[in-house]
Structure 1
Amino acid sequence: MQMNRAAERQTENKIILVTRKTRLEELIAKYNTVGQARFYIEHLGADFSSYQAEHDNYQACVKAAETSLLRLGRLQIVERGFVPNMIFGEHDIVIALGQDGLVVNTMKYLDGQRLIGVNPDAQRWDGVLLPFEVKDLPSLVPEVLCQRRPVREVTMAMARLNNGQTMLGVNDIFIGPKSHISAHYTIHSDGQQERQSSSGIIVSTGLGSTGWMKSVLAGASAICQPLEDDFPYELPLIPMPASSSWDARELQFAVREPFPSKTSSTNLVHGRIRDHASLQVTSLMPEHGVIFSDGIEADYLEFNAGLTAEIGVAERRGYLVM
Structure 2
Amino acid sequence: MSTRGSENKLILIKRKTRLEEIVVRYNTTQQAQFYIERLGADFSDYIAEDRNYRNAVETAVMELGSLGRVQLLEREHVPNFIFGDEDTVVVLGQDGLVANTLKYLHRQPLIGVNPDPQRWDGVLLPFTVKDLRLVVPDVFHRSRPIKEVTLAKAELNDGQSLYGVNDLFIGRKTHVSARYQLRLSGIVEQQSSSGIIVSTGMGSTGWLKSVLAGAAGVVRGAAQLYEGAEMDIAYHAETQGTNPAGQRQAWDDPNLYFTVREPFPSKTTSANLVFGAIRGDSPLQITSQMPENGVIFSDGVESDFLEFNSGVEATISLAEKRGQLVV
Please tell me the TM-score bracket, short chain as reference.
Answer: over 0.9
Deviation digits for residues 64-84 of structure 1 (CA, Å, limit 9, x no counterpart):
001111110000000000011
Matches of 2:215 and 2:206, distance apart in 1: 15
Give the SS at the match of 2:121: coil
Q: What is the distance in 1 between the residues matched to 2:290 and 2:93?
A: 37
Q: Does 1:289 align with 2:284?
A: no
Corresponding letter in the other structure for 1:34: T
**Count, aligned residues:** 313
User: Is residue 214 of structure 2 the alignment partner of residue 225 of structure 1?
Assistant: no
Helix, strand or coil: the match of 2:243?
coil
Which residue in 2 is equivalent to 1:318?
A: 323
Match of residue 132, structure 1, among 127, 130, 135: 127
Q: Which amino acid aligns with 1:19?
A: K
Paired position in structure 2 for 1:20:
15
Q: String of CA shifts for 1:233-258, please: whole Å, max 9, x gaps.
A: 99684333132111112100000111
Q: Contact 1:11/1:72 (CA < 8 Å) preserved in 2? A: no
Q: 2:308 is matched by which residue type in structure 1?
A: F
1:189 to 179, 184, 188: 184
Deviations 1:12-41 (A, max 9, x none): 221000000000000011111111111110
1:173-212 superposed matches below 5 A: 173-212=168-207
Partner of 1:6: none
Q: Which of 102, 108, 116 in structure 1 is aligned with 2:111? A: 116
- Specify whether residues 230 and 267 from structure 1 end up closer, same or farther in structure 2 by C-alpha distance, changes over 3 A only: farther
1:151 alignment partner AA: I
Aligned residue for 2:84, secondary structure, equals coil
* Matched position secondary structure for 2:124: coil
8 Å contact from structure 1 (residues 90, 113) kept in 2:
yes
- Matched residue, 2:251: 246
- For 1:252, the aligned partner's letter is Y
Q: CA deviation at 1:316?
A: 1.1
Structure 1 residues 259 and 230 mapped into 2: Cα distance closer, same or farther (>3 Å)? farther
Which secondary structure does the structure 2 equivalent of 1:109 belong to?
coil
SS at match of 2:112: strand
- 1:74 maps to 69
How far apart are the structure 2 equivalents of 1:266 and 1:232? 18
Distance 1:166 1:149 in 2: 31
Of the candidates 305, 309, 320, which is equivalent to residue 310 of structure 2? Answer: 305
SS in 2 for 1:155: strand
Corresponding position: 1:44 with 2:44:
no
Shift of 1:190: 1.7
Note if contact 1:218-1:240 (Cα within 8 Å) is conserved in structure 2: no
The TM-score normalised by the length of structure 1 is 0.94
**Percentage of pairs with the same residue:** 59
Is the Cα–Cα contact under 8 Å of residues 13 and 74 in structure 1 kept in the other structure?
Answer: yes
Q: Is the 8 A contact 2:287 2:312 kept in 1?
A: yes
TM-score by length of 2: 0.92
Unpaired stretches in structure 2, ≥5 consecutive residues: none
Q: Is the Cα contact below 8 Å between 1:11 and 1:73 reproduced in 2?
A: no
